[in-house]
Copies of this chain bind each other. A is one copy, B any other.
Amino acid sequence: MSLTIAPQPLTAEAFAPFGDVLEAVGTPDKMINQGLCGRFHDRAILDFSDGQAGISLFDAEARSLPMSLDMVERHPDGSQAFLPLSRAPFLVVVAPDDGGKPGTPVAFITAPGQGVNYHRNVWHGVCAPLSEQGQFAVVDRIGDGPNLEEFWFKEEITIQG
Contact = CB atoms under 8 A, between A and B. Distances in A.
Contacts of A41: 54, 56
Nearest to A73: B33
A43 B24 CA distance: 25
Interface stretch (A5-13, A101-109, A111-119): A111-119
A55 interface: yes
A104 B139 CA distance: 32
Given A22-B137, A113-B135, A115-B137, A44 B55 contact: yes
A46 B42 contact: no
12 contacts: A32-B58, A33-B127, A36-B60, A37-B126, A39-B56, A39-B57, A42-B142, A43-B56, A46-B54, A46-B55, A86-B87, A137-B137
